[in-house]
């Protein structure tokens, strides 16, 4: 056990990657099992989709979040209100579009979509997803940057992301336009 803890201390990204490798596919499973509407005779759980969420969460999203949180802490290391607000503002203006783009593009690529299919889904779903993100994540990140120790921030975000990813999985699965995601925010 001491050897594992030593490895985690030496490479703190590993616990983050492990956490996302569990929480992302778990969120997708919950979305499929309890919130997805199926046609009669349709398979209830898409294990390939869960596998894609595991790969994306652990190998792509975890390092992205981990490095973003480290960068934010380096740019604004103080716990003053101005540094806190700067981190939260940067989180929504810089990281959110990158993270959400990574989500839609990464999973679309793992699905085997061609470049036009990847672009179309990204273009249709990113604006409304980002708009909803702007209502949820500033509060969560304020708590994160104010009260959570730096070494636990990526894991805190991962736990919060479980619920967020459950919604993202539904929006990702939705084959319609952004109107079907959040009608009130639709740009069409």
48-67 pLDDT, tens digit each: 999 999 999 999 999 999 99
Give the predicted TM-score (pTM) of the model.
0.86
In a domain, 172, yes or no: yes
In a domain, 39, yes or no: no
In a domain, 86, yes or no: yes
> At residue 177, does pLDDT exceed 60?
no
Count of helix runs (H) and strand runs (E) in the chain: 8, 0
Across the range 130-137, mean pLDDT stands at 94
The string of pLDDT tens digits covering residues 87-102 is 999 999 999 999 999 9
| 142 in Cβ contact with 2 (< 8 Å) | no
What pLDDT sits at residue 125? 95
The total domain count for the chain is: 1
Mean pLDDT score across all residues of the chain: 89
The boundaries of the domain holding residue 64 are 16-33+45-185
Task: Assign 3-state DSSP to the chain and report helix, strand, coil percentages, each to 5.
Answer: 80, 0, 20
| 169 in Cβ contact with 33 (< 8 Å) | no
In a domain, 5, yes or no: no
């Amino acid at each position: 056990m001491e050897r594992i803890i030593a490895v985690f201390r030496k490479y703190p990204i590993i616990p983050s990657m492990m956490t996302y490798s569990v929480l992302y596919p778990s969120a997708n499973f919950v979305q499929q099992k309890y919130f997805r509407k199926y046609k009669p005779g349709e398979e209830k759980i898409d294990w390939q989709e869960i596998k894609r969420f595991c790969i994306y969460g652990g190998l792509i999203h975890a390092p992205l979040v981990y490095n973003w949180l480290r960068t934010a802490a380096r740019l604004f290391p103080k716990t003053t209100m101005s540094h806190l607000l700067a981190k939260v503002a940067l989180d929504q203006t810089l990281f959110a579009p990158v993270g959400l783009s990574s989500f839609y593009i990464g999973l679309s690529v793992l699905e085997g979509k061609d470049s036009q299919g990847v672009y179309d889904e990204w273009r249709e779903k990113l604006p409304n997803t980002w708009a909803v993100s702007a209502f949820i994540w500033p509060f969560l990140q304020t708590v994160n940057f104010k009260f959570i120790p730096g070494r636990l921030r990526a894991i805190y975000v991962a736990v919060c992301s479980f619920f967020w990813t459950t919604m993202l999985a539904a929006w990702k699965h939705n084959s319609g336009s952004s109107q079907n995601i959040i009608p009130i925010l639709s740009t069409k």
